[in-house]
């Protein structure tokens, strides 16, 4: 039994919901990347319908330093302003493997910045990923979405895939790429899920939109980080400074990251970028992991806002986690 529904009937209902969702505009019409079976992931991995919400939570002070030593009692979770009971709590997420998807923009608007993107991608992989434990896949997107290297822990294969990119496409399907890789690759892997997007934030070709991309990342419990490729030409763009958010494309990248618990970076200095990657690596291993069973158990398609607060007297600390999720019957690996 699950939420009062017989298991076999629940499975039928869930499949029916997913079938209906696939028939909606912006989902079935999206071109799907060619996805091969994921190495290192057991074909028998059990995927369960979401009945609990899992929150990787980052806590920092005013200087951005990570705060260790907090306990379950230090946190309070609200969903749509209603207090939720924390079911599980962990301050040792480093024991769980990371599954990281790195997606690179190969559209015309990033032409001339290919080397910057490739170096950024490999620096991120080498900095964040732990050998023989974590797994990385690499893909590109333009008017096509391509999986060039499936999940692996072999840096030589990733290096070959990243620096083997030569051809640029004609359009930009950024949101489709996020949607497809979260839906087809991230939801089925065990452990924690991270997606890095390297792009200027422009989208000219997707059927999905910004909210669709955020929604699927939140539902598949994927944290998004973004690197803006505008950094590659910072010196030639009058009035634009590294680290600043200037236009809609920048704001969209920032929103995409922050709504899922991640961050966006706007810097043309590779050394600064490498320091940012080190910070991401440290963050992913300093997070707290909280889960709760929502008091509102209706899969009615509404957006549920999540607010995580610390106990009184800790107002000097900052919390970052995903900001909510859409209540849709869905399934994801535990």
User: Taking residues 36-65, what's their average pLDDT?
Assistant: 69
C-alpha–C-alpha distance, residues 30 and 177, integer Å: 9
Predicted local confidence at residue 231, as pLDDT: 56
pTM for this prediction: 0.81
What per-residue confidence (pLDDT) applies to 230? 73
Q: How far apart are CA 144 and CA 149, in angstroms?
A: 15
Give a three-class secondary structure readout of the chain.
CECCECHHHHHHHHHHHHHHHHCCCCCCCCCCCCCCCCCCCCCCCCCEECCCEEEEEEEECCCCCECCCCCHHHEEEEECCEEECEEEEECCHHHCCEEEEEEEECCHHHCCCHHHHHHHHHHHHHHHCCCCCCEEEEEEECCCEEEEEEEECCHHHHHHHHHCCCCCCCCCCHHHHHHHHHHHHHCCCCCEEEEEEEECCCCCCCCCCHHHHHHHHHHCCEEEEEEEHHHHHHHHCCCCCCCCCCCHHHHHHHHHHHCCCCCEECCCCHHHHHHHHHHHHHHHCCCEEEEECCCCCCCCCCEEEEEEEECCCCCCCEEECCCEEECCCCEECC
Tracing tokens 């490729």 back to the chain, one arrives at: 229
Q: What integer is the mean pLDDT of 91-104?
A: 92
Mean pLDDT of 93-110: 92
For the cut 60, the answer to whether the pLDDT of residue 3 exceeds it is: no
- Please report which confidence band the pLDDT of residue 308 belongs to, taking 50, 70 and 90 as the band edges: very high
C-alpha of 257 from chain center: 7
Cα(284)–Cα(263) distance, rounded to whole angstroms? 12
The pLDDT of residue 122 is: 95
pLDDT at 17 over 60: no
Query: What phi and psi values does residue 288 have, to the nearest 5 degrees?
Result: -100, 145
The mean pLDDT value for 103-107 works out to 96
Cα diameter, the chain: 63
Chain-wide mean pLDDT for the chain? 83
Look at residue 176 in the predicted model and tell me its pLDDT.
Answer: 98
Give pLDDT, residue 23: 36
Which has the higher per-residue pLDDT, 209 or 132?
A: 209
Q: Which domains does the chain have, with CATH numbers?
A: 52-92+287-332 (2.60.40), 95-284 (3.40.50.410)
43 has pLDDT over 90: no
Average pLDDT over residues 213-229: 94
% of the chain surpassing 90 pLDDT: 60
Q: How many CB atoms lie within 10 A of CB 92?
A: 10
């Amino acid at each position: 039994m699950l939420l009062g529904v017989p298991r076999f009937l629940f499975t039928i209902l869930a499949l029916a919901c997913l079938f209906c969702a696939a028939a909606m505009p912006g989902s079935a019409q999206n071109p799907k990347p060619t996805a091969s079976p994921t190495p290192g992931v057991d074909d028998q991995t059990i995927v369960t319908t979401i009945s609990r919400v899992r929150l990787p939570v980052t806590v920092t002070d005013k200087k951005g330093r990570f705060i260790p030593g907090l306990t379950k009692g230090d946190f309070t979770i609200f969903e749509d302003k209603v207090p939720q009971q924390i079911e599980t709590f962990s301050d040792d997420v480093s024991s769980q493997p990371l599954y990281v998807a790195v997606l690179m923009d190969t559209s015309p608007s990033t032409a001339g910045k290919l080397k910057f993107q490739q170096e950024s991608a490999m620096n991120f992989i080498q900095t964040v990923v732990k050998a023989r434990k974590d797994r990385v896949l690499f893909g590109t997107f333009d008017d096509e979405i391509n999986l060039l290297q499936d999940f692996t822990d072999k840096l030589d294969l990733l290096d070959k895939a990243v620096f083997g990119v030569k051809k640029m496409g004609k359009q930009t399907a950024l949101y489709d790429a996020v949607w497809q890789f979260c839906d087809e690759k991230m939801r089925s892997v065990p452990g924690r899920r991270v997606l890095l997007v390297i792009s200027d934030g422009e989208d000219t070709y997707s059927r999905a939109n910004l909210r669709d991309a955020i929604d699927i990342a939140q539902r598949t419990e994927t944290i998004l980080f973004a690197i803006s490729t505008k950094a590659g030409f910072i010196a030639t763009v009058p009035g634009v400074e590294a680290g600043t958010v200037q236009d809609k494309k920048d704001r969209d990248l920032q929103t995409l990251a922050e709504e899922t618990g991640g961050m966006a970076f706007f810097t043309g200095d590779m050394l600064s970028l490498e320091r940012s990657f080190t910070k991401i690596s440290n963050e992913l291993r300093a997070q707290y992991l909280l889960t709760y069973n929502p008091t509102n158990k209706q899969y009615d398609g509404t957006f549920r806002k999540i607010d995580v607060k610390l106990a009184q007297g800790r107002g000097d600390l900052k919390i970052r986690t995903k900001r909510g999720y859409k209540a849709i019957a869905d399934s994801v690996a535990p």
